[in-house]
Chain A
Amino acid sequence: MGDITDKLRAAKNKRAGHGTNHASPKKPKKVKSQAAETIDLDLDDDELELLASQPRRSRSNTTAADEKEQSPAKKPRISEPSSNGLTKPDVSRVKKSDSPQTVKELLDSIPSVDLDNVTTKEATQFSWKGAGGDGSGASSELEIPEGQANCLLGLTIVFTGTLPNLDRSTSENLAKRYGARVTKSISKNTSVVVLGEEAGPKKLENIKKLGIKAIDEEGFKRLIAGMPAGGGDNQQADKARRKLQEQQEQAMKEAEQMAKEQEEREKKDKLSVGKDVNLSSKSTVTEDSKLWTTKYAPTDLRQLCGNKGAIQKLKTWLESWSSGKKPSMRAVMLSGPPGIGKTTAAHLVAKSLGYDVLEKNASDVRSKGLLNASVKFALDHKSVIGMFKSISDDHYSKNGKRFVIIMDEVDGMSGGDRGGVGQLAQYCRKTNTPMILICNERNLPKMRPFDHSVLDIPFRRPDAQAVKARLMTIAMREKFKLDPNVIDRLVSVTRGDMRQIINLLSTVTTTSKSIGSDNIKSLSDNWEKNVALKIFDITPKLLSGGIYTENGAKQFPLYKKMELYFDDFDFTPLMIQENYTSTTPTLLRKGQTHLNAVAAAAESISEGDLVDKKIRSAEQQWSLLPLHAVLSTVRPASMVAGNVTRRINFSAFLGQNSKTGKFYRLLQDIQYHTRLSTSTNKMGLRLQYMPTMKRHLLDPLLRDGSAAIENVINFMDDYYLSKDHWDSIMQFYVGTDDTTAALKSIPSSTKSAFTRAYNNVSHPTPIMKLGVSTGRATAAARPDFEDVVDNDDEVPVEEENPKDEDEIDFKKDKFIKQVGKKKTKSKTKKVSSKK
């Protein structure tokens, strides 16, 4: 059970994090594009200032990077004014004013869609039937058109609505592959809109207003097939081509520069090492026998790819320590997926400010006790190493004796680290040494103790632009050929994992010395990361119609669908059960309605439940698990699969199930008590007695107010019911009998009078006592168990003991809390007095 609740919490968390995660990466871009000029200029100034004190090489380095950042590239940025000398072709304007011949001709030859006839989202009621027919009919001719390389170069394409055959991501990838820019919203820069079913009405309006060419999927295919390589010989394609080339050249230049710098540095290092005999004898590991990830590990903050803002934030935070005043947050938490340089950033920032590092990671035991033994003492201490370091560097003299604690893989605290997280969170509040915590998943429930005690700095996956220069440097140094165009692909395959890309390159280049578009396909298939999907990814995947069409089934065969079930076979069936009604089926057979499909799916789910019972009951027939996969998940999903129209909800079964359990327990309790005067079982009590009980327990109070109290209490005594039972009985009523409103309408004076009246009178109790014992009952019982040992009175004794213990515990708790409070107070006082 604990397991399940954990999962539940994690899932909820994930959902909560979902929305923000999706929204966040987009935001900065937009903001930037609007206020592009000012912000960019600001940044430049800052960085230039920063750089002024640094050696020349780094300067050229970053400015180059900046320039690249600002060039519009493939990012969906609206054109921004050039801010540092690099003139950029303004693609959009060119496109609008003098339209090229070839593209225009081709586009003209493609019939545009009649905008008034396109079904919009409002119109779904009458259109989905047709859409369903389309889905089954058109699927037979799913062929992805082959076009010339870069044939869509210079075009800006918007996809909207659902295309009959290609799904959204496929079509977008297709367009991107041929060099087109794909944007989400329609603007005057848009060259072509590819319209599908159920497009947003707002978008249609925009299209009409701006007079943009709209084509359907057929037209899109023809566009790809018809365009000449390189986007034709028109102006905009030309410009785009030139830009692309420029970009590449720039990346190459940067790479060369970086490579040169690194070589120089290494030479210098070697020289200095050569002087120092002690060191050289120690470092027996040659560069060649190092892993590439070590060899090319960033040695300088500027070499880190992406996350510039986050790193700057971290640096500012750490700098604020050295000024003597402690920042408001004494610890930071870096979070993000693996392989994007969190640990490296933490180490480099510490190094650049001259801090010494104390690192603890998952390979160290970090239980509460051991943390107390090892880390706690470090919190107020100073580094010894700093004293022996040469004080030539400016920073060292200032921070030499200080150090920073880096806690790596905080979410990796697990078995054997009991109490570690809580303890660590406590340190975060009172530490006198800067602490940097690093984790992958910030949203996990076990990371909650850190919520208000750390400064959160999320790291994001770097995009292809950010890593290009770095990878080209490595290619240059290792002397293999890397086609700059495939870097995008590498980044998407590894999901932005820089370390993985370097590992990939180092392995692949053992056999082949060039990586280009010809072997990237097989590479990316092999290197695709294989991570178990989470239920919120599995469910929409299973419910999407695309994988059940004939072609879809070929690409995603049955056994793969079943594998989805096995990724989390406890929750996937529950999730399907929760969400199977929130789709618009696209694969209905002739004459079948949506309701039929849902009914059939429900039937299948219930059959799956029969199987589940065989698996999880005493019989333990686990060999039926594949059958359960089909009946509870794949088959119902196949019946209702289509477009998911509502948000995927987490299974409500768990909550409802525990509610059912609770009511059964209450009912059981009531039945025990009424047993002396009733002759029925639990079900009978609920079905036959309870409706009548309402008339005697609640209705008089509503009708006569306090005058009815005596009658009600008498009735309760007849059935040996306590006041608690009265409360719980009121929860049982459903439907028209629901009592929530009625309970509220009882005046509070009546309620309190009722409670008082009940407590004033002693009540008959059956032998079995489950509720709280009143003071008198125990007082009466007390003399008894001095004389008689084995008697019925053992029951109250047992009851009493836990109660006493509870009280003691409570007191203890209070005591501890008070002491704790005092302690922390005195500590803070001490701290402040120290200052």
Chain B
Amino acid sequence: MSYATKLELPWVEKYRPHLLKDIVGNEDTVQRLQTIAADGNMPHMIISGLPGIGKTTSIHCLAHELLGDAYSQAVLELNASDDRGIEVVRNQIKHFAQKKCTLPAGKHKIIILDEADSMTSGAQQALRRTMELYSNTTRFAFACNQSNKIIEPLQSRCAILRYSKLTDEQVLKRLLEIIKLEDVQYTNDGLEAIIFTAEGDMRQAINNLQSTVAGFGLVNGENVFQIVDSPHPLIVKRMLLSGSLDESLQYLKELWVKGYSAVDIVITCFRVMKNLDEVKETVRLEMIKEIGFTHMRILEGVGTHLQLSGMLAKIQKLKS
């Protein structure tokens, strides 16, 4: 492969799994899908979970394994970029469901509705009876981030598969495979940084890896955080938890000198504080209030070092 084509293809696409067995994480669910792929008779299903954990990929793999060559004619895929209003559901989807398609026994046409949580409830309502009436020939697969945005009647008709966040080890394993194939120079703290910032999102991890490689060639902690361009949550956490004001101001200085904007710092503070279990919740709410007010002032235009210092001082005061 020439250097140019190597650059053209995002690694996320290049290393997207094509078989169910290659999918990382959620072993139980994936195994269930494999059984379905082998036996046929796929139920209607909803796969829900956070972004970047392989929902769409699993559905595609499943459809490919089930239908093989017939994929092109027996699969209708619609995602949020397509028009999926009630009109489309009543026309395009219904017509596809009525379409005759010669498939081996136990195989069905599949309608994939990606990002189904962005469909209007009217459109979802219109799917209900279609799903039932044509279930002998057509099966539906939904992928969504929040399953509560899918109306209850649809949930009732589907097998709900919840994908959980990938663990750091799972992300690491896949990253190492890619690194080996792409022959990437890396350090351990670089990989750690990538995994930390991805928070279980495989797509983000791979994208960050590729960006770092494209930008610097070497994957180490510093380079990764330059690519990711948000203050390191660990530093922010230390800054918020440190015992004395001087210490936390030192951390702030460190971040400030690196050139992070006040908005980025304060937003990261908010996010870190929200899940900071070390602090009691009542105190945390007070701290969040202070951070929030600083955020407001910064948005008003006073994104200064002084504001952030003031915020830290107030947080320090709340600790005592």
Contacts and interface: CB of A to CB of B under 8 A. Distances in A.
Interface of A: 285-286, 288-294, 337-339, 343, 359, 361-365, 408-409, 411-412, 414-416, 440, 494, 497, 499-500, 503-504, 506-508, 510-511, 526-527, 529-532, 548, 550, 553-554, 557-559, 562, 567, 604, 607, 610-611, 614, 619, 621, 623-624, 626-627, 630-631, 634-635, 638
A275 to B, nearest CB: 23
B285 A412 contact: no
Interface string B262-300: 000001001000110100111011001100100110010
B32 A510 contact: yes
Interface string B130-163: 1010011101000000111100110111111110
Contacts of B137: 285
Given A558-B284, A607-B289, A624 B160 contact: no
A291 B44 contact: yes
> Residue among B89, B146, B152, B157 with the most chain A CB within 10 A?
B152
Given A510-B36, A635-B289, A363 B152 contact: no
Contacts of B31: 511
The 6 closest A-B pairs by CB, nearest first: A412-B125, A414-B122, A627-B292, A361-B129, A338-B153, A339-B156
Contacts of A506: 43, 159
A507 B160 CA distance: 9
Contact of A529 (B39, B121, B152): B152
Contacts of A630: 285, 288-289, 292
B295 A532 contact: no
7 contacts: A337-B152, A362-B127, A363-B90, A408-B128, A503-B157, A557-B277, A624-B295
A548 B106 contact: no
Given A289-B105, A557-B275, A503 B43 contact: yes
Interface string B107-136: 110000000000011100111111010011
A624 B296 contact: yes
Given A339-B153, A343-B129, 18 more contacts: A285-B137, A289-B106, A291-B139, A294-B135, A409-B129, A411-B125, A412-B122, A500-B155, A503-B43, A503-B44, A510-B36, A511-B28, A511-B32, A511-B35, A529-B152, A626-B270, A627-B288, A630-B292
Nearest to A283: B136
Contact of B267 (A414, A604, A623): A623
A506 B45 CA distance: 11
Contacts of B126: 362-363, 412
A87 to B, nearest CB: 40
B177 interface: no
A78 B12 CA distance: 65
B292 A553 contact: no
Contacts of B187: none
B40 interface: yes
Interface SS of B by simple majority: helix
A554 B107 CA distance: 46
A440 B153 contact: yes
Nearest to B146: A530
A624 B90 contact: no
Nearest to B157: A499
Interface in B243-269: 267
Contact of A416 (B35, B87, B280, B295): B87
A173 to B, nearest CB: 23
Nearest to B158: A503
Contacts of B289: 604, 607, 627, 630-631, 635
Contacts of B125: 362, 409, 411-412, 414
B314 interface: no
A527 B132 CA distance: 21
Contact of B89 (A363, A508, A554, A638): A363
Contacts of A290: 41, 135-136
Contact of A415 (B41, B120, B128): B120
B165 interface: no
B179 to A, nearest CB: 33
Contacts of B121: 414
B24 interface: no
Contacts of A414: 86, 120-122, 125
A621 B299 contact: yes
B55 to A, nearest CB: 15
Nearest to A415: B122
Contact of A497 (B120, B147, B156): B156
A364 B89 CA distance: 10
Contacts of A440: 152-153
B217 interface: no
Contact of A285 (B87, B130, B136, B277): B136
A471 to B, nearest CB: 16
A626 B274 CA distance: 10
Interface in B70-107: 85-87, 89-90, 94, 105-107
A294 B86 contact: no
Contacts of A532: 148-149
